[in-house]
């Protein structure tokens, strides 16, 4: 699994893969929160239902584990200075509050999509329109 790098405003975010078994365990626990969702053929509606169920559980230990995986495996490059995001969460997101949701969404896709068939299959279909900043572009390598 390669690194994933993207930029928001002047901030570069570099994500590296988490341990597969730890990530798989966190994902299984988080998906338990989506139990009872009616599955049909419309993957967009499935995705909206699953996302809604997960959002309803923000703050739960299962969602916190997903957030921690994303944030612990993200390095910020800001004006040539690098730091692990998890070491400066408050300071960073106090300054770049609008980046929190895009970082978590992109990080969730990056860390967990490859657990599903076809390099993203279900998860990629679940979150296709969840991109609050359509101008997120990969940073230049």
Mean pLDDT along residues 2-23: 95
Q: Please answer whether residues 5 and 141 qualify as being in contact, where contact means their C-beta atoms are separated by less than 8 angstroms.
A: yes
- pLDDT by residue (tens digit) across 116-139? 655 444 555 554 444 443 444 555
Write down the pTM of the prediction.
0.72
| Beta strand pairing call for 81-84 and 74-78 | antiparallel
Helix, coil or strand: residue 5: strand
Least confident of 44-48, 84-88, 106-110: 44-48
Confidence of residue 25 (pLDDT cuts 50, 70, 90): very high
């Amino acid at each position: 699994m390669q690194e994933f790098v993207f930029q928001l405003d002047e901030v570069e975010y570099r994500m590296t893969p988490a341990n597969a078994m730890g990530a798989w365990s966190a994902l299984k626990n988080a998906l338990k929160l989506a139990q009872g969702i009616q599955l049909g053929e419309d993957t967009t509606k499935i995705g909206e239902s699953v996302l809604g169920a997960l959002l309803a559980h923000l703050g739960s230990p299962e969602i916190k584990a997903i957030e921690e995986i994303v944030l612990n495996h993200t390095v910020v490059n800001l004006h040539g200075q690098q730091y692990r995001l998890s070491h400066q969460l408050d300071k960073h997101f106090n300054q770049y509050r609008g980046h929190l949701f895009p970082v978590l969404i992109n990080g969730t896709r990056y860390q967990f999509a490859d657990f599903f068939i076809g390099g993203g299959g279900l998860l990629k279909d679940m979150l296709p329109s969840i991109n609050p900043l359509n101008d997120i572009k990969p940073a230049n390598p």
